[in-house]
A and B are shown apart, each in its own frame.
Chain A
Amino acid sequence: MTAKETPSTTRTSFWHDPEKRAIIFQLLALAVVLLVGYYLFANTTANLKRQNIASGFGFLGKEASFEIGESMISYSAADTYGRALLVGVLNTLKVSFIGIILTVILGTLVGIARLSSNWLISKIAAIYIEVLQDIPVLLQLFFWYGIFYQFFPPPRQAIRVLRGVFISNRGLVFAVPAPDPIHAWMGAAFLAACLGSYLLRRWARRRQEKTGRYFPVFRVSLLLLVLLPLLTWLAGGAPTKMDVPVLRGFNFVGGRNISPEFTALLLGLVLYTSAFVAEVVRAGIQAVSHGQTEAAMSLGLRPGQILNLVILPQAMRVIIPPLTSQMLNLTKNSSLAVAIGYPDFVSVTNTTINQTGQAMEGIALIMAVYLIFSLTTSVFMNWYNKKAKLVER
């Protein structure tokens, strides 16, 4: 309670003044927190000294001397712990990024399937959602990882899926285009096409607001996104040389290899999270009342326009917040990689802790990195919520 309305002539006693009492409570709480903190800190420093464990982040510059199975940047055992941890962060980001894209696609499909008028499809989607939500994600990871070893043969008897695509218990191997300087230019062309479509969309919207004329942005940008890289490829002499995997000794050489660890992790995370995303999508679509569709139809909009201009913007407002928290969940769950041996950030940090003994710093790093991920997400969420808020009259 803030200001007292009635000026009292008698002085309220110290203890009965809510404002003063509040100050005392807060001071007490702070004192307790500080004391407990100090007690833990004192114990910890004493214990560290007794066990001769170094402290501080000096270990980051020392040689890691352990190998990492897969890495997006060049890394060897001679590199520093700092670089090893960076490899871990990149691996976490890689699996989360690919996982999120696949999850959103699969989750949306299942969510729509759940609402399908087709009984069979709707029931299968319902079973999918119920079953995958109710099984711990760690168990799912073990399950998929186990399947690789139980059902797939060693590389020598690898199953040939297509020309140049093999599955064995060492993972999936497939042919990729042999490296060529034109690939970098194709990437640049793709980025240019992205920028172009963004500008096109802005221009089209402005023109529509001014003149009311409609421009098929989606089709034109799709064309741009496909054509520009394709033209660059043709201009570069259309190189078609492939890097085909060949069996040499006990394993494949060449091509691109996706390890069983990565596959199991990705599969587990995507299947588990997509079940939740499906529910989110279903709720979002159901939140837009049928009257909206009817009103849009009576305005003479085409089905595509109804979806684009009326239903999706409203459904998105309901879908996006829980969807982001599911994406964050996927990123946090990717830390379970440590259980099946995929070198994500937690797994690399765990190895580092085992080698250096500096558990405090290691776990502080894990927490800091994941906190950064979630804080970034919540900053985005706040921005989006502000942008998507209903503008009421």
Chain B
Amino acid sequence: MLLLSGELIVGTAHSVVMLAPLSERDRGRFGSLFVTNYKLSFVPIDNSSNDEYGQRNQLVGTFDVPLTGVGAVWQTDGGPTRRRRLLPRSDVPSKLKGLQVVCKNMKVLTFNFENSRIGNGRKVAMALLHHAFPKRHDLLFAFDYREPYYPTLPSDLNMFQRPGDWKRELERCECPHWRITCINGTSDAFMLTAGETLIVPGSVLDYNLIEAARHFRSGRVPIWVWGRPEGAALLRSGELLPTEQSATAESVLLEQVRRSHPKLTPPRVLYVCGAAGAGASGGGAGAGGGPLGPLPPLAALDASYKKLAELCTPTTLADFWTQDSQYYSFLESSRWLRHVAACLAFADEAAEQLARNVSVVLQEGDGVDYSAVVSCLTQLLLDAHCRSLAGFQSLVQKEWLALGHPFCDRLGRPRPGSTKEDADKEPAAQTAPVFLLFLDCTWQLQRQFPAAFQFTETYLTTLWDCTHNHLFDTFLFNCPRDRELAVSKNFVQRPLWDWEEQFSEQDIALFYNPLFGQPAPSSRFSTGAARAGAGGAVAGAGGAGAGAGGRLQPCTSLAGVELWSQCYERWLPPLDAPRAGPVQYLLHHAALRAQIQKLNEKLSSLSILTRHSRADEGGEGGEGGEGGEAPPAVTRFYPFSARGGCAAPLDGMQLSLIDASLLLDSQSLLNAPD
């Protein structure tokens, strides 16, 4: 097993069987199970060529889980069926037969200790329960990781850490009527969970902001996040507090927003979530969200997600098929897709207003959750730059990190800065997969507009996996202030966006959508007909599925959204099948692009016409190039599935579990003549 610098083994069990997912106790692999201060790691005795298949993380092995990715731990009787939840820091019986770990990315690992030395299983379980749920933030491994970091971030990535970064964004959006204030970086700071730089209407004074902030939750006055050269801007704010002057304070600020619009158009306030929605204030307010209504409180979102997770983590084949027989009821009762559709509806509504050159203020609770989701989606719909990989990462930096989405709270990690005692006293922070909701919505857009995004669903799924890898600082803090505090104590920042830290070139290539952008024929190649044809291709690609002005108009109906199969169902072997699924499109198109590139190269080399003749020619193999590059044969959940790990589910289970009479409305139909 590979240990990182600073990583220590804290628990070991040998002769452990890792059961194949959704199998009974008869199938599995022998190996050793380790718990370190960074991860849970299973090392099989025998290597299988299948282990090389798919995505390989250089820091986390195929059978490793970073401790922050551990969701729930169960004690089992050795098989997958009977189980009892083990709570953090609880005691574990000495004769532990089996352990089941349900990861936050919905992977389920089941271990059997029956061949292991007595007590080994318990040791591992205790170590896991102790280290996977630390009480203090600075106990996370990132603080012990001693590897130096040399940043190689791409230059077009905007980290939104310094005032200059925001200036760049203002210039990119061509919004001259807004100004940068650094008041939030001084002792007068009023929006403690945001970074030091804020963008506000050009006419508003810092003093006004400080005054107004008292009337908004978490001091979240409306702040600029995006704008159009035509004048309309997108702002985010927190909910109004029920103070006497809050309505006045709001309308004063909204008036400043209006004045920042060259046409002096009053802004429209969208109440994304919260009590304010219905009764609230002034003109131009609207509930939005279409027929799906506003977004639910975070606790309800969390509950919704838990039901979804339950649906996606069956532990036995019997469970799997039972769920299958009532799949749509379960899907309905989780309501997750409703929330996804509602986010898209809000974003479409906001994009519609902005396209009409009306400024939009997204108002929500503390202004750090759903407003980030809707704001990001709105920008994805309107701003083609955000659909590039660098643009998307910049967007995450801006909306989620610089503006302080509380990742620790939402992902259920200890709060930075609070001591063990604090943690015991304070009420537990609300966990909720808000960022996942955003990734899911982004995936829906990708699916609806397959050529519009530079990145693939594999990228999004990987990003979700990485939010649970606490080696990187990107999703490690609640707000920029916490991060700065840690840095001042010699914490090494390690942005996630350096993908080479984790993945090979080959894996990173799968992050790029081959349908995005336009392939051009070689410029050296100049027969008229081909020019015209290529021109057509370029013209067609220019819109990349976007309507007028590059705006995407998604389908926001509940019937238009789907479950993100790759992210949620990739660990379910019965669903995996060779040459199946949308990943085939990706690989096929990638092969096409490669062929085009090869032909281009061939053409440019031919056009030189001066190369030595025969040997070269023959070597090219004539037309061999185009047929030869078959896309590799992969299974549905590539690059996440284990190849060959799935037996075709022909065991009749799927039929025997459907009671034929359930498919009937009434007996009379059964008895009708055939």
Partners in one complex: no
